[in-house]
Amino acid sequence: MNGDVCADFPLDEMLDMHFNNNSHQSQHQQKQPVLITVMATETTRQQSVHYGCMVVDKETNIIQHYVEKPSTFVSNTVNCGVYLCSPRLFDTIADIHLEILNSNGNGNQQNISRYTTSNNKNNINQQQQQKPVEERVAGAMVIWMEQDVLRRLAGESGSSCSSMSSGGDGSGRIKKGSKCGGVALAATTRNWWSQLKTAGAAIYANRHYLALRQQRQRLLQRESVIDLPLPSPVKCRLATADPKGYSTIGNVYVHPSAQVHPTALLGPNVSVGEGAFIDQGVRIKESIVLQDAVIGQHSLVMHSIIGRRAKVGAWCRVEGSAACSDPNPNVAYAKMTPQLPLFNALDGRLNPSITILGCGVNVESEVVLLNSIVLPYKTLTRSYKNEIIL
């Protein structure tokens, strides 16, 4: 699984498709084992070019064609970066590795073809030829799941699969005829899925994971009448308003070891980590408070991430801007859109984004911090806006 994705993962459905693939191929085709099952989803035509695009047979779920971040529209079915692999896939990866090493006698040729335009490819080829053989071969030691493996497996339906051309032109074009011994399937889901490419995406993911936790909590409550080994309710339960405790709005998660003053108001979409301390009169919304962080009395935290062991003094305002990259709720299958550049081209300041306090940051009392990123172990004695504090 790629480390920058978050989702309501349909793992049960993927396992079922991966192991029960008897009907995935036509009767006239020779039975082929499933080497890999890829989690897929649909997106808009405009956003599809930012992802790996797959052409999928709707009847068999076999991936027929795969292109990583195409320049033009290929398909609105995109790769989610979650894979179920059979052990036999490692044999295929080994064959692909040897093929890249042997291509034109220069392993680095394939890497050039994958990531270089035709305009500057010849210049890079000349530069590579001048390097020692050991250095050139070292560049081929990296195998990419998307560009190398999926692209070859795509279209395998019992006869052949895609492979690297070994022609003298070094074009790296795909041709047919190299046996891969298996197929790749796409498990398309309509569940929530997103990439985490920016800091603001963490707040977006937190919001959805809290909603998923609420759904799971309701499911556990319905299934509690059945004698099943269910998770501990203390660990899986969302925080709720208590007449003798703090107040909450919407979905809020508070770790059992965290201390929250009865006069604090949390939510919506707030996660408070282990050992955190929330003092009296604190207001927190759309934020993440990590382990052992301290929020002083009567402080406001909005659209922010408070790092581990960070301390916010009394009467502070730590606020970021709501993410402008959230998917358009009025467009079907819309995903998060790219945010503004990190810096403003005119004055060099940060464009509006969430506020982040690094590990061990100390914010003195009565400080206002807006749309800023603070690196670890800094002490802030004055207010900042749209800056990175080093």
44 pLDDT more than 80: yes
* Residue 193 in domain: no
Q: Which residue has the tokens 């749309």?
A: 371
Residues 6+ away with beta carbon under 8 Å from 345: none
Mean pLDDT of 231-246: 61
The pLDDT of residue 164 is 40
What CA–CA distance (Å, rounded) separates 322 from 293? 22
> Is residue 339's pLDDT more than 50?
yes
Q: What angle do CA 42, 43, 47 make, to 5 degrees?
A: 150
For residue 294, the domain's CATH number is 2.160.10.10
Residue with more model confidence, 249 or 200: 249
Q: What is the pLDDT of residue 309?
A: 98
- Comparing C-alpha atoms, which of 373, 266, 361, 376 is closest to residue 313? 361
- Pairing type for strands 311-312 and 294-295 reads parallel
**In the numeric block, which tokens belong to residue 356?**
């982040």
Give the Cα separation of 203 and 365 in Å (integer): 25
Confidence at residue 19, expressed as pLDDT on a 0 to 100 scale? 86
Instruction: Give the per-residue pLDDT at 185.
Output: 92
Q: Which of 154, 188, 222 is the last residue in one of the domains?
A: 188
pLDDT of the residue at 228: 46
Q: Give which of 146, 157, 147 is closest to 31, Cα–Cα.
A: 157
In a domain? residue 224: yes
Residues 235 and 362 in one domain: yes
Q: How far apart are CA 259 and CA 59, in angstroms?
A: 54
Question: Within this chain, do residues 166 and 247 fall inside the same structural domain, yes or no?
Answer: no
HSE (side-chain half, CA atoms, 13 Å) at 373: 14
Residue 349 lies in a domain: yes
- Residue 9: count other Cβ atoms within 10 Å of its Cβ: 18
Question: Residues 39, 73: one domain?
Answer: yes
pLDDT at 79 over 50: yes
pLDDT of residue 224: 58
Print the domain residue range for 68: 5-188
pLDDT at 168: 36
Segment 109-132 shows an average pLDDT of 49
Local confidence band at 319 (pLDDT 50, 70, 90 cut-offs)? very high
- Judged against a pLDDT cut of 80, whether residue 108 lies above it is answered with no
Final residue of a structural domain among 188, 210, 241: 188
pLDDT digits (tens, 9 = 90+) for 240-274: 666 658 999 999 999 999 999 999 999 999 999 99
Q: Tell me the β-bridge partners of 287.
A: 270
pLDDT score of 329: 62
Residue 10 lies in a domain: yes
Q: How many structural domains does the chain have?
A: 2
User: If we measure between CA atoms, which residue out of 158, 149, 177, 164 comes closest to residue 79?
Assistant: 149
Helix (H) / strand (E) containing 259: strand 259-260
Q: Whole-model pTM?
A: 0.75
Residues 206 and 339 in one domain: yes
Q: Are residues 273 and 168 in the same domain?
A: no
Whether residue 298 is contained in a domain is answered as yes
Q: What is the mean pLDDT of the chain?
A: 79
Last residue of a domain, one of 188, 212, 232: 188
Amino acid letter for position 10: P
Q: How far apart are CA 81 and CA 301, in angstroms?
A: 33
Check whether residue 141 and residue 77 sit in a common domain: yes
In a domain, 194, yes or no: no
Tell me, what's the pLDDT at 105?
52
Q: Are residues 260 and 365 in the same domain?
A: yes
- Quick one: pLDDT at residue 139? 55
* CA–CA distance, 20 with 24 (Å, rounded to integer): 9
In which band, very low, low, confident or very high, does the pLDDT at 304 lie, cut at 50, 70 and 90? Answer: very high
- pLDDT-based confidence at residue 126 (cuts at 50, 70, 90): low
Q: What are the backbone dihedrals phi and psi of residue 328, each rounded to the nearest 5 degrees, phi first?
A: -70, 115
Residue 126 lies in a domain: yes
Whether the pLDDT of residue 83 is over 60: the answer is yes
Judgement on whether residues 212 and 168 belong to the same structural domain of the protein: no
What is the CA angle 48-51-52, rounded to 5?
Answer: 110
CB atoms within 10 A of CB 219: 11
What are the pLDDT digits (tens) for 9-30?
Answer: 999 999 999 888 744 454 545 5
CA 281 to centroid of chain Cα atoms = 35
Same domain, 137 and 222: no
100 lies in some domain: yes
Phi, psi of 38 (to 5 degrees): -105, 130
Residues 136 and 218 in one domain: no
Strands 317-319 and 304-306: unpaired
* One domain, residues 265 and 313: yes
Do residues 246 and 365 share a domain? yes
